[in-house]
Chains A and B, each alone.
Chain A
Amino acid sequence: MKNDKIEQLLNKKAKSPTPGLTPDPFLATRIAAIADGKKQEKAGGALVSNWSFASVITAFAVVLGVYFGSAILDSEVQNTDDVFSEYSQAFYQTGFAENFETTLDSGGSEE
């Protein structure tokens, strides 16, 4: 009999015993700010990742440049060739000091 009563009670639809709540009137504004913040964060993240990628590439290029530069300096390779030496001799202008020295040298040898 009592079990029937429980069954009857459970079979019917009922109004929830949960008391009512009042929503926060300012939540909409906060949500808009949260969602916009998220969007900006995403955009900022992409920008930062672009910047950091560019920085890494630049640093790598600098290191690579220094490495190759020092490798060239240290090498035993002859950097001048005949054409270059001819060219420099043709355009080489003797200075006043050198002329003076030549004169002195030649004067001395005459004595």
Chain B
Amino acid sequence: MIAQAGVINSTGSQMTFDDIYQENADMILNLAYRMTGKQEVARDLTQDIFVKVYEKSDSFREQSKISTWIYRIAMNHILNFIKREKRLSFLDFMEQDTKTVREGTVTVWEQNLPTQPDKALEDHEKENIIRHFVEQLNAKYKIPFLLFRYEEMSYQQIANQLGLSMSAVESRIFRAKKKLAEKLKPWQHRL
């Protein structure tokens, strides 16, 4: 266990769980937030990820960087969450009233959509609109596109991460762009 024994990182120094958390929490929380757009969800995911890190610390191999190892755990956890999300939101819908569900599912991008019509959009506003529409895509297209556009991953890295072939990744990203272009048509005069 990290907390009791500590782990030796790649530079040879001993790290406690608290050290590991302080060093990586920012990266993981913001990764979860970038991928989900929901603050509460991102915080919950971060907690789950670090619980996993704490429990799996015995399986950490010192050859790799601890941040790389944590990033891999986090990415798997977040991607699983995104794949399950639709089913979860349906179950929530069954249990709560529509308004509560709506409030819980609004992403930061939807909240920040530009409201002034016919005003030239700034770069971050354009990106916000794109991100809002990416969120509406099926997870099959959304995940590869997100990893490509915002996580600076190559097609090969995405293929490895998702267990897909390179051609499958290319085709999914291509189709994601096509679907997005359709959705962005009403906004094209402002982009």
Residues of A participating in the B interface, judged by any CB pair closer than 8 Å? 2-3, 5-7, 9-11, 13-25, 27-32, 34-35
Which residues does chain B contribute within 8 Å of A35, judged by CB atoms? 51, 54-55
Query: B108 touching A19 by the CB < 8 A rule?
Result: yes
How many angstroms between the C-alpha atoms of A3 and B124 in the bound complex? Answer: 20
Interface class of chain A by DSSP? helix
Query: A10 touching B46 by the CB < 8 A rule?
Result: no
Query: A6 touching B30 by the CB < 8 A rule?
Result: no
Partner of B51, one of A13, A16, A34: A34
Which residues does chain B contribute within 8 Å of A19, judged by CB atoms? 108
Query: B181 touching A31 by the CB < 8 A rule?
Result: no
Shortest Cβ distance from residue B165 to the other chain A in the assembled complex, whole angstroms: 21
Which residues does chain A contribute within 8 Å of B112, judged by CB atoms? 17
Q: Contacts A2-B188, A5-B191 hold; do A18 and B30 have CB atoms under 8 A apart?
A: yes
Interface string of B47-58 (1 = CB under 8 A from A): 100110011000
Which residues does chain B contribute within 8 Å of A30, judged by CB atoms? 47
Shortest Cβ distance from residue A4 to the other chain B in the assembled complex, whole angstroms: 10
Partner of B50, one of A6, A21, A31: A31
Residues of B participating in the A interface, judged by any CB pair closer than 8 Å? 3, 17-18, 21-22, 25-26, 28-30, 33-34, 37, 39, 42-43, 46-47, 50-51, 54-55, 108-109, 112, 124, 126-128, 130-131, 148-150, 152, 177, 180-181, 184-185, 188-189, 191
- Residue in A closest to B53 when the chains form the complex, CB atoms: A31
Query: A14 touching B29 by the CB < 8 A rule?
Result: no
Which residues does chain A contribute within 8 Å of B3, judged by CB atoms? 32
29 A/B residue pairs, CB under 8 Å, sorted by A: A2-B188, A2-B189, A6-B181, A6-B184, A9-B126, A10-B177, A10-B180, A10-B181, A13-B150, A14-B149, A15-B127, A17-B127, A18-B33, A18-B108, A18-B109, A18-B131, A21-B30, A21-B33, A21-B39, A24-B43, A27-B21, A27-B46, A27-B47, A30-B47, A31-B21, A31-B47, A31-B50, A32-B17, A35-B55
Query: B18 touching A29 by the CB < 8 A rule?
Result: yes
Query: B37 touching A28 by the CB < 8 A rule?
Result: no
Which residues does chain B contribute within 8 Å of A20, judged by CB atoms? 30, 33
How many angstroms between the C-alpha atoms of A29 and B18 in the bound complex? Answer: 7
Partner of B34, one of A18, A28, A29, A31: A18
Which residues does chain B contribute within 8 Å of A5, judged by CB atoms? 188, 191
Query: B54 touching A17 by the CB < 8 A rule?
Result: no
Query: A32 touching B54 by the CB < 8 A rule?
Result: yes
Q: Contacts A7-B177, A32-B17 hold; do A27 and B50 have CB atoms under 8 A apart?
A: yes
Query: A16 touching B150 by the CB < 8 A rule?
Result: yes
Query: A13 touching B149 by the CB < 8 A rule?
Result: yes
Which residues does chain B contribute within 8 Å of A28, judged by CB atoms? 17-18, 21-22, 25, 50
Which residues does chain B contribute within 8 Å of A31, judged by CB atoms? 17, 21, 47, 50-51, 54
